[in-house]
Structure 1
Amino acid sequence: MRLLIVGGSVVVGGALVFTAASALAPPPSNPRPAAAEPAARPETLQERLKRLPEDHRSWARLGVQYVEQARLTGDPSFYPRAERALATAAALAPADDTVLSGRAALAAARHDFPAAARLALQAVRANPYGAAAFGVLADARTQLGDLDGAHEATERMMALRPGVAAFTRASYAAELRGDLTGARRFLEHALADATAPADLAYCRTYLGELALRSGDLAGARGWYGQALAASPGFVPALAGQARAHALAGELPAALALYDRITARLPLPQYLVEQGEVRIKAGLAPDWALLRAQQRLAAEAGVLDDLTAAEFEADHGDPELAVRHARAEYGRNPNVVAADALAWALHRAGRSREGLPYARKATAVGWRNALLHHHRAEIERALGRPARSRALEFNPRFDPALPALARFS
């Protein structure tokens, strides 16, 4: 399930990087390159903290920078650094809303959504006008299956700071309800508000995903191309292009892109997609890097039973998938976790146990082809009338490439 953190990046209490106020001296009347004064360089957070070691908000922002670095690089070793910086901030000012919001962002990044919701609520109580805290609260409540609570937090964020972060969350909430028109409209609002290349790329990429999830490959490719025009090398847009190639049957082109993507950002999602496209192309998958990334994430405190459950159900040990899925659903009873548990139980030969979870996964209105395919397969296994709406929702859906339908 997509986790939105302030327009594709984590922002808490203001900018990610502290910039010292400075003014450049006017140039000399006849400047020579060797004699010209160098431009003043913005002060980094680390430099500021050397000067002001008790600046708790800068410690909190440094922690959030590390969270963002983990997201951008796929390197979970940044999370312990974030934890240390945020622990220093909390020791200095435990009730400060910037500190609490930063701790909530780290908890969300590590998939500890109960803690993220608790910390975000504390931040909201400390400062009811902090939009960033409402954003993390909306994300956490979505992952906890509390869609009404997530909607309430998103609405509050929209009232406080309408912009890319709020509009993208509102878009996802609408999509989960099955309102694709509303989801597209909110993303268009976000795009109209975006100015930074990363935000433009982010909004265009998710407009591409909406198109791809509806089977509109041409529309999706157009949006991904526009995203890359705004931010060349933007990995989510490259991944979108790879999915579009794979779903069009252009497997060599898809694999060439996946090779580029996983070399730069070896996230488990991309590694599973790459492996499935290799299988579709008649090649052997290599899951070694995936398992290594999962170990590194676990060592860094990331709780991700969901990815393990989905992978094991489709490509590994179904009983192990059930154990992971039960752990995930126990912490985060959302529709994606319900689907993972339903599918794991079915693959383990316990379709009757899985059916109630499949029904829950398809009950909120989300037009997700994979969830509806799983429910239909479970119903067929039980000898019940089954009508899959997967191809109705996405004519390009391919059950041999399930990870490509999980990219939301």
Structure 2
Amino acid sequence: MENDAVENEQGVRPRFPRVRRRVLLASVAGCAVLGGLLTLLPWGSDGPESSEPAPGAQALTAVTTGVTAALPDLAVLIDERERQLRADPKNAASWAVLGAAYVEQGRRTSDAANFPKAERALRRSLKVRADNAEAQDGMAALANARRDYRAARTWSEAALKTDRKRWTTYPQLIEAQTGLGDYKAAKRALDRLVELRKGPEVLAWAAGVYRDRGYREDAAAALSDAAAGAQAPAERASYLERAGQLAFERGDLDVALRYFQEAVRLDPDQRAALAGQGRTLAALGRTTEALNAYRAAFAKQPNPEYALELGELYASLGLGQAARVQYDSLRERAARAAAGGVDAELVLGRFEADHGAPESAVRRLRAEWRRQPGIPVADALGWALHRAGQDKEALRFARVATDQHAGGGVRSALYVYHLGMIERKLQMSGAARRHLQEALRISPHFSPTRVPLAEQALRELGEPSVKDVPDMGVEPEPKSEPKSDTAPEQKPRKKPEKKPERKPEKRKPE
């Protein structure tokens, strides 16, 4: 099992909380994990019938427990709190709720203009009452939304100092530690969260940790249970969207598409799921539908990531001018995000590496690595260095991104593809061939632009040469080229200089 392959530095497999497994209805033997789990999802209903709370109350429950809130309900909640605060400006709790609602609205719409408003409300709450865990929580969520993971960790720790048993702080701490590349600390925060709280939102956070560690089966089961237990359509849709991402990463395209479609049905404002549809439809070769899905997602949630993906899809179709329009839009949206305090360096670095100035990408991503050395940054920096012609240093970062002992337990076809292409440039033919084949095994359709390049590289590498096969069981002398971390370790004999003298002597009696 994949779980058994991941061990900590003492050689002991980390013990994550086990996920309760539901019976899989109508599953068939040999089906993919996510395919079987699809039967658990509430395709025909929005959950158990109950009297619906008022929109503002529903959004209040969502923002105070850290789950996804519906956009119309958020607008109602914000209006209610603003009116209340005009009458009672010294209400610290209401300022904290207003700030948290602005954070959620900015996150869901990709409109960073909400974040300065959120910060003003949260700081006003802290000014009214300094020892205010609700506002400290909100500041941690704001920092995570801005990709400022150091600040998010600081605010999370402050909230826990104020209230050690405040369970809603731990998801913010998990996200911050993950963004900083401290996966052991993220696991410890998850363990504490599970001790304090049970419920679908906790299962969803556990799924993220499992996925980052390479525990795909556990991640899929946790997301299935989270979706089944979610109370509100927007919350359930967010869990289905994550399940769709996981299915896409493992190459289960039909399963991923069903998850994304159901998420959009439950919550039409779930634009991440609409972008997921575009990604999946493109991989299935349904390009017209893919373009429509991407355009609709970007129109309502102008995320720079969507602009990059849509631009690359246009480029793969030979529509260079349309691709350039999307790349210009990416730069514009990244600038707006930066004006709202969002760190957009990762997406800009990835864009510059492939479509702009690789040297600029290296500068951006080196600084990002110093600030917050997570696995996505390691992969992006390694690729930028490769594109800038610095392949030996690139190999080091590509190995960090794919080495489970360094935290890169996630099985990403893109990361392994990057490693294989870097090894190919360094003339490490065997390692390059293995990793490019592995990338296509993980997900044969992971990128409309990169899959053809991987296939072309494999054709050029060809089959392993018979010259590389040891003759009559005698190991060849080690080559001067560097070795892949994932290649089997070849230990030289203790006295290699005596081999040529002893070999003829052993054969004489024969």
Give the shorter-chain TM-score range.
Answer: 0.7 to 0.9
Match for residue 329 of structure 1 among 361, 369, 375 = 369
Structure 2 partner of 1:179: 215
Structure 1 partner of 2:331: 291
Q: Structure 2 matches for 1:5-404, cutoff 5 A?
A: 11-12=63-64, 44-284=80-320, 285=323, 286=325, 287-364=327-404, 365-384=409-428, 385=430, 386=432, 387-388=434-435, 389-398=438-447, 400=449
The 1-side partners of 2:359 and 2:304 are apart by 20
Partner of 2:193: helix, strand, or coil? helix
Q: 1:381 to 1:138 in 2, by over 3 A?
A: same
Moved more, 155-164 or 243-252: 155-164
The 2-side partners of 1:331 and 1:42 are apart by 33
Q: 1:13 to 1:270 in 2, by over 3 A?
A: closer
- For structure 1, which runs of at least 5 residues remain unmatched after alignment? 1-8, 18-40, 403-408
- CA deviation string 1:6-63 (max 9, x = no partner): xxx973478999xxxxxxxxxxxxxxxxxxxxxxx99811122122211112111111
Q: Is the 8 A contact 2:68 2:234 kept in 1?
A: no
Partner of 2:236: helix, strand, or coil? helix
Q: 1:169 to 1:42 in 2, by over 3 A?
A: closer
Shift of residue 302, structure 1, vs aligned partner: 1.2
Q: Is the 8 A contact 1:273 1:401 kept in 2?
A: no
One-letter code of the match for 1:296? R
- CA deviation string 1:72-93 (max 9, x = no partner): 2221111111111111111112
- For structure 2, which runs of at least 5 residues remain unmatched after alignment? 1-60, 70-76, 452-510
Q: 1:292 to 1:10 in 2, by over 3 A?
A: farther
Q: Is the 8 A contact 2:141 2:152 kept in 1?
A: yes
- CA deviation string 1:152-204 (max 9, x = no partner): 11222222222232211111111111111011011112112202001111111
Q: Is the 8 A contact 1:184 1:207 kept in 2?
A: yes
The 1-side partners of 2:142 and 2:88 are apart by 23
Q: Is the 8 A contact 1:187 1:203 kept in 2?
A: yes
Q: Is the 8 A contact 2:383 2:418 kept in 1?
A: yes
Partner of 2:225: helix, strand, or coil? helix
Q: 1:183 to 1:14 in 2, by over 3 A?
A: closer
The 2-side partners of 1:303 and 1:14 are apart by 22
Q: Is the 8 A contact 1:70 1:76 kept in 2?
A: yes
The 2-side partners of 1:119 and 1:351 are apart by 38
The 2-side partners of 1:79 and 1:137 are apart by 19
Q: What TM-score does the superposition give when structure 1 sets the normalisation length? A: 0.87
The 2-side partners of 1:110 and 1:362 are apart by 26
Q: Is the 8 A contact 1:370 1:399 kept in 2?
A: no
The 1-side partners of 2:236 and 2:335 are apart by 33
One-letter code of the match for 1:311? F
The 2-side partners of 1:233 and 1:119 are apart by 29
Q: Is the 8 A contact 1:93 1:99 kept in 2?
A: no
Q: 1:114 to 1:349 in 2, by over 3 A?
A: same
Count of matched residue pairs: 372
Q: 1:128 to 1:155 in 2, by over 3 A?
A: same
Partner of 2:198: helix, strand, or coil? coil
One-letter code of the match for 1:71? R
Shift of residue 352, structure 1, vs aligned partner: 0.4
The 1-side partners of 2:276 and 2:298 are apart by 13
User: After the TM superposition, which parts of structure 1 deviate over 6 Å for at least 4 consecutive aligned residues?
Assistant: 13-17
Shift of residue 350, structure 1, vs aligned partner: 0.2
- CA RMSD between the two structures: 2.1
Q: Is the 8 A contact 2:122 2:135 kept in 1?
A: yes
Shift of residue 244, structure 1, vs aligned partner: 1.1
Partner of 2:389: helix, strand, or coil? coil
Q: Is the 8 A contact 2:146 2:341 kept in 1?
A: yes
The 1-side partners of 2:403 and 2:134 are apart by 37
Q: Is the 8 A contact 1:12 1:101 kept in 2?
A: no
The 1-side partners of 2:135 and 2:240 are apart by 32
Q: Is the 8 A contact 1:104 1:119 kept in 2?
A: yes
Q: Is the 8 A contact 2:312 2:449 kept in 1?
A: yes
One-letter code of the match for 1:57? A
Shift of residue 310, structure 1, vs aligned partner: 0.6
Structure 2 partner of 1:20: none
- CA deviation string 1:315-371 (max 9, x = no partner): 111000001111111111111110011000000000101111111100122110000
The 2-side partners of 1:349 and 1:195 are apart by 51
The 1-side partners of 2:274 and 2:79 are apart by 33
**Considering only CA atoms, is the larger Rg found in Structure 1 or Structure 2?**
2
